[in-house]
Amino acid sequence: MMNIAHLEVDLHHGGRWTSLRGPRGREWLSTRPDALAARNACQPGDPFIDAGGLEECIPTIAGAYDHGDVWARTWRGNASTATVQGDRFDLERRITINGSQVVASYRLAAEPGFRFVWAGHASVDFSESARLVAPEGTRVRIWPEHWRRWPRLDQREGPWPAPEDTPIDGLQTDGSALFFMLIDQPELVVSDGGHLRFRLDAPGQPIAIAVWRNLGGWPEDAPYRGIAIEPAIGWHFDRDLAGPGETGIVGPTGTVEWQLTIEAAG
């Protein structure tokens, strides 16, 4: 029996986290084996293919780069310290494990004024009885059916856990799909037997916890169940559509640093 969390990464294919197991051996990241070969054949600029795991999305989640510019690039280094060069920026990631916590520390280097959105796009394996836990009343920003309407988006807001009167904290497969962000919220817990806790610390930057809650509603021709928890810098999934103050921005020093902590209890 393990007494610490266990992490595996694939530097050759975007620095992707391929496995995250808790101290009792539970695998928390989902995988889609039928999509893996196509995903690993992708080149920078290709449409994103969801094969599970945790993908690094930067400098946007959608828009000019589909799920960002680095998920299909080769990273250099090792599982503990890795770097990647994107379009007009460099990103460094350092990972440490402390008991049940995996801590990823990031350093972005770019020209001062560079605007960006970053997300740690973690595709997770949760049961039908899992619950998303965040402070009641947290501001939630929703884009209903954003995959159909982008870039002419219908953007709405309301309080957690029922921003439009219907609770969205459950994960029962019901044929729906929804992307939303918990705005200015550093932490989200998923309770599912054990728990998975996400925390983002990014001083001076707008932060959110995004959720892609695909409960069998997307894609229309072959829907599947796929849930992604995405701690994010930025209050919009498209850097170019975000308003003033809604993206990360590189200051006069030319660098930005932040830290993602995932506690895997189970």
pLDDT higher than threshold 90 for residue 153: no
pLDDT higher than threshold 80 for residue 95: yes
Q: Where are the domains of the chain?
A: 6-265
Instruction: Tell which wins on pLDDT, 244 or 151.
Output: 244
What is the fold, at CATH topology level, of the domain defined by 6-265?
Beta-galactosidase; Chain A, domain 5 (2.70.98)
The pLDDT confidence band at residue 127, using thresholds 50, 70 and 90, is very high
pLDDT higher than threshold 70 for residue 211: yes
The pLDDT confidence band at residue 249, using thresholds 50, 70 and 90, is very high
Rounded CA-CA distance 182/140 in Å is 5
Instruction: Tell which wins on pLDDT, 241 or 2.
Output: 241
pLDDT higher than threshold 70 for residue 224: yes
Average pLDDT of the segment spanning 183-193? 97
pLDDT higher than threshold 90 for residue 1: no
* High-pLDDT (> 70) share of the chain, %: 99
The pLDDT confidence band at residue 2, using thresholds 50, 70 and 90, is low
Considering the chain, what is the average pLDDT of its residues?
A: 96
pLDDT at 146 (0 to 100)? 85
In this predicted model, what pLDDT tens digit does every residue of 66-84 receive, in sequence order? Answer: 999 999 999 999 999 999 9
Average pLDDT of the segment spanning 208-231? 96
Rounded CA-CA distance 235/206 in Å is 7
230 close to 119: Cβ distance less than 8 angstroms: yes
Q: Spell out where 128-254 has E strands.
A: 131-133, 139-143, 156-159, 176-183, 187-192, 194-201, 207-218, 224-233, 248-249
Of the candidate ranges 42-51, 125-134, 143-152, 223-232, the one whose mean pLDDT is the lowest = 143-152
Which amino acid is residue 227, in one-letter code?
I
pLDDT at 159 (0 to 100)? 98
pLDDT higher than threshold 70 for residue 218: yes
Q: Between vectors from CA 242 to CA 216 and to CA 157, what angle results, nearest 5°?
A: 55
pTM for the model? 0.96
Average pLDDT of the segment spanning 103-116? 98
Rounded CA-CA distance 158/35 in Å is 35
pLDDT higher than threshold 80 for residue 151: no
The closest of 137, 211, 134 to 176, measured between CA atoms, is 211
pLDDT higher than threshold 80 for residue 194: yes
